[in-house]
Homo-oligomer: A and B are copies of this chain.
């Protein structure tokens, strides 16, 4: 408890730094797998604080990366990061979009391994030009056209570096090991799997993650008992047929448009699942070139969801079969690519209770939600699932913040007064866990 007070004081002294760093990051948003500047700045800072830092192929399993942008986009983003002041050696180690960062600090005494995950990527959203939008008023709006931190990950990265600093500052008083995971490409749920598959949390006993906002739309509120992570899979399917003149030789064509249309309808007819929530959506269908040509190209973008990872796997397997059969039906070929995914799950109850108790004792939260049914997808669930499967515990907290607009909206902004709340709760919970408090 005394340690908690010390942490509160340290965080109080960092308040202005927190805001400054968040704004610095907000000005340079980097969408998934292009977080070269953000990740390199984080890596350099973490190294400075004494952490052992891994990035590139040491932090990310290349084969598990999903939804990677084209090579040209990666190269351009890498060059821009350097132009915009990122430490070049770090940037170079991330070539190919391997922008994950893992920072480890081993404390003097033996103890458990505590992991914390922070996501770094921005959205493919153009920030509003509205003068009343706070980032415009205060001069920290996005300088990258088409990209914006519209989900608060600038705040997450900021909080992560602050937690790093607090724990490093308490180095002599702590035990065990802390592992800070800075994850790329959470948007589209593309990045977590590649870090989990790289094994970065395989030794973790307690895993923590956090997000500003969502159901907690008020600064000073917090939810520690989060359930209902929907497992999800994101697929792109590209059909390739054979064009023909629709008037002169319809029988010579291989109709990719009809294959895609047939797939779309039958995908939505995948049976409901008695085991819990299931979802399917073909959100995009683009096919054909000309009215009088049998369409030889078609693309569908779809997602499945499940109340559990198992239900989502059922949906995904059904979806693949339907898509492949639709292609066969029309004599066309199809390439299916998984471009995103997240596990399902929920907080380990004991760890959730542990954090909630601390949230109450800290005295900085006005409102503590009993339980929060997340009802959406977050690829943090991959970390959670892996740690839980290996016998550890994992939890995710929602840190309340007043929001200017909904997540992913071009007017999104969150109340920076929420930053110290997050840092304090994560740092005190981590410290307690490291010191072996009973969960």
A positions within 8 Å CB-CB of B? 230, 232, 234, 246-253, 255, 257-258, 260-262, 264-266, 268-269, 271-275, 277-295, 298, 301-303, 305, 314, 318, 321-322, 324-326, 328-329, 331, 375-377
Q: Contacts A266-B329, A314-B251 known; A294 to B283 CB distance under 8 Å?
A: yes
A326's nearest neighbour on chain B, judged by CB, is: B329
Q: State which of B247, B262, B376 has its C-beta within 8 Å of the C-beta of A266.
A: B262
A272 touches B261 (CB 8 A): no
A232 vs B283: C-alpha distance when bound (angstroms)? 30
Q: Which of A261, A266, A294, A324 lies at the interface centre, i.e. has the most chain B CB atoms within 10 A of its CB?
A: A261
A275's nearest neighbour on chain B, judged by CB, is: B251
A339's nearest neighbour on chain B, judged by CB, is: B291
B258 touches A269 (CB 8 A): yes
**Total copies of this chain within the assembly:** 4
Given contacts A260-B261, A282-B288, 4 further A-B contacts (CB under 8 A): A247-B375, A250-B273, A255-B268, A291-B301
Q: State which of B266, B281, B292 has its C-beta within 8 Å of the C-beta of A291.
A: B281
Q: Contacts A281-B292, A291-B303 known; A258 to B249 CB distance under 8 Å?
A: no
A232 vs B245: C-alpha distance when bound (angstroms)? 14
B250 touches A271 (CB 8 A): yes
Q: How far is the CB of A151 from chain B (nearest CB, A)?
A: 14
B269 touches A269 (CB 8 A): yes
A255 touches B284 (CB 8 A): no
Q: Which of A281, A289, A326 lies at the interface centre, i.e. has the most chain B CB atoms within 10 A of its CB?
A: A281
Closest 8 A-B residue pairs measured CB to CB? Answer: A246-B281, A325-B329, A268-B269, A261-B261, A250-B271, A284-B288, A283-B291, A325-B328
Q: Which residues of B contact A377 (CB under 8 A)?
A: 247
A272 touches B269 (CB 8 A): no
Q: Contacts A251-B273, A281-B246, A286-B285 known; A264 to B268 CB distance under 8 Å?
A: no
B283 touches A295 (CB 8 A): yes
Q: Which residues of B contact A280 (CB under 8 A)?
A: 272
Q: Which residues of B contact A376 (CB under 8 A)?
A: 247-248
Give me 12 A-to-B residue pairs in the complex whose CB atoms sit less than 8 angstroms apart, sorted by A's number: A246-B281, A247-B375, A248-B376, A250-B271, A251-B271, A257-B282, A257-B283, A261-B264, A265-B269, A268-B269, A284-B290, A325-B329
Q: Contacts A266-B265, A283-B289 known; A278 to B272 CB distance under 8 Å?
A: yes
A294 touches B268 (CB 8 A): no
Q: Which residues of B contact A260 (CB under 8 A)?
A: 261, 285
A267's nearest neighbour on chain B, judged by CB, is: B269
Q: Which residues of B contact A278 (CB under 8 A)?
A: 251, 272
